Amino acid sequence: MSAIGSEYGNAIFLLAKEEGILDEAAAALIEVKRLFSENPLYCDFLETPSIPISERLGAVRASLDGNVPDCVTDFICILTERGYIRAYDDCEKEFEDRYNEEFGIAVAEVTSAKALSVAERQELRDRLQEQTCKRIKLVCSVDPTLVGGLTVKIEGRLFDGSLRARINDLIGAMS
């Protein structure tokens, strides 16, 4: 993570906390991240020095005012003014990390051979919450090369319950 992302992400977190709108700010930052991802030319526009800063800030306010908390709109304007809009993802990541720490949430990156059902995700979440004593946020992805089973990465630890890992263990034991 960049130093700018860390500094500015922490700043928006502290401001949202002070204003008592952490949940609203978190949702808004995720939505802005999605908008930037879907419209990469918007970021190009926001960082183009040949376009007057007043026009760029006006566009931010026109698109965000009333749709997100004021502090988030102001935050995007500050990043735009200072030429840091490309650091937005790092800022949002820092905010998310601080938010998760504040509320005792652990992110579990789950990779499975096939998409997990709602019931399977809930069972996995329950088991992980029991083991970690934290609220769990699952981030699921599918990797058909796993053949079967799943891997879970949580708090820097990797739990490999994939069929591929079991086969490799058997091969290793037979050697």
Can you read off the two tokens belonging to residue 110?
A: 């789950």
pLDDT at 173: 75
Average pLDDT score over residue span 94-98? 96
0.85 exceeded by the pTM?
A: no
pLDDT at residue number 159: 85
- Domain identity same for 116 and 44: no
Q: Report the pLDDT value the prediction gives residue 83, as an integer from 0 to 100.
A: 94
Q: In what order do the strands lie in the sheet with 135-142?
A: 135-142, 105-112, 150-154, 157-160
Average pLDDT of the residues of the chain: 91
CATH number, domain with residue 44: 1.10.520
My answer on whether 95 and 130 are in the same domain is: no
Q: In the chain, count H helices and then E strands.
A: 8, 4
The alpha carbon of residue 175 and the mean position of all alpha carbons in its chain are separated, in whole angstroms, by 42
Please tell me the distance from the alpha carbon of residue 73 to that of residue 29, in angstroms, as a whole number. Answer: 10
**Position 174 confidence tier, pLDDT thresholds 50, 70, 90:** confident
Choose one of 57, 72, 101: the last residue of a domain: 101
